[in-house]
Amino acid sequence: MARMRVRQAIAAALADAMREDGSVLLFGEDVAAAEGPFKTSEGLLAEFGPLRVRDTPISEMGFVGAAVGAAAVGMRPVVEIMFMEFLGVALDQLVTEAAKFRYLSNGRVSVPLVVRASIGSGLGFGTQHSQTLENWLTATPGLKVAVPSDAQTAYGLLRAAIRDPDPVAILEPRALYAERGECVTGEEGIVPLGTARVVREGDAVTVVALGQTVRAAVSAAERLGTGVEVIDLSTLVPWDRDTVLASVARTGRLVVVEESPSSGGWGSEVVSAVTAAAFRALQAPPFRITAPDVPVPYNRGLEARFSPSVDEVEYQLKTYLDTGEVPDPWWRREGVAA
């Protein structure tokens, strides 16, 4: 086990995968000579050379399309999208083509492609470079989607994604790249896709979080003391229903903490599925703690309020546990939005 930053864990995962399998390639803007816009490919060009670590033109449509073709003929490309929003111009290649090849070919053609994209608010990149946009991908059959929350899951999920025979999107919370944590590398460090982690045990409420909201959920739970169980969902497609349902069966309550805006967030799927499968186990209505339905603000103070803060999560959980009722979010309590 070593202590490393999240960005270093990503670079370590790429290096280990490339040493293991000569068909693993890395494409993207500034991933080679500059070693990644966020230094997530540090040292790779020097070790593996320009044939396997390739800088591309500023054309996501072009290099994602090239990676889909390479994957379809037996390579295992990893492409880096600098900001999640830029994937919008290449959705056809990923969602309509790569995710459908296995189905359209009756299983004869697979596309072992990994698309990495940085996501999220917190670093002052403004409204057009701070979204999470998981919902662009989660309703796409044939595509897996995972979101790391620390160095270990950054390393382990990426190693698992590169080994997967089908396309996988890894959405990396940008605000976590500089965070340090313990990380087991090699075979023992691989985190299977579709497996959630119970990161804090409790028996009064199940809190499901993802990406950088895991930190907020754990911090709020520690302030509240015992009783709050926190689950890091890790993979959105397929998500780990068994772990979530087993937890709700013990606690009788469910809260989902999301960075995405309230409308259309991934937590709606979790709440819906748990309500349908475990309605009789619920002692109070399940609900979601989200961002408001507004663009991510550029102003530092407003941006800090956008994603669920530790204070807001603590307030919502305490009110919910004390009353059994679903509290209003801060923007309704303060009368700034409906």
Asked whether 245 and 197 are in contact (CB, 8 A), the reply is no
Amino acid occupying residue 104:
L
How far is the C-alpha of 190 from the C-alpha of 169, rounded, in Å? 16
How far is the C-alpha of 297 from the C-alpha of 300, rounded, in Å? 8
For residue 52, CA distances in Å to 8, 28, 124 come to: 19, 11, 33
The residue among 67, 91, 78 whose CA lies nearest residue 36 is 78
Asked whether 278 and 248 are in contact (CB, 8 A), the reply is yes
For residue 64, CA distances in Å to 28, 98, 267 come to: 9, 10, 28
Residue of 97, 129, 312, 314 marked active site? 129
Phi/psi at 233 (nearest 5 deg)?
Answer: -65, -35
Residue of 60, 80, 172, 303 marked active site? 60
To the query of whether residue 60 is one of the catalytic residues in this protein, the response is yes
Phi/psi at 234 (nearest 5 deg)?
Answer: 65, -50
To the query of whether residue 172 is one of the catalytic residues in this protein, the response is no
Asked whether 265 and 234 are in contact (CB, 8 A), the reply is no
Asked whether 211 and 259 are in contact (CB, 8 A), the reply is yes
The residue behind tokens 């880096």 is 80
| Catalytic positions | 60, 129
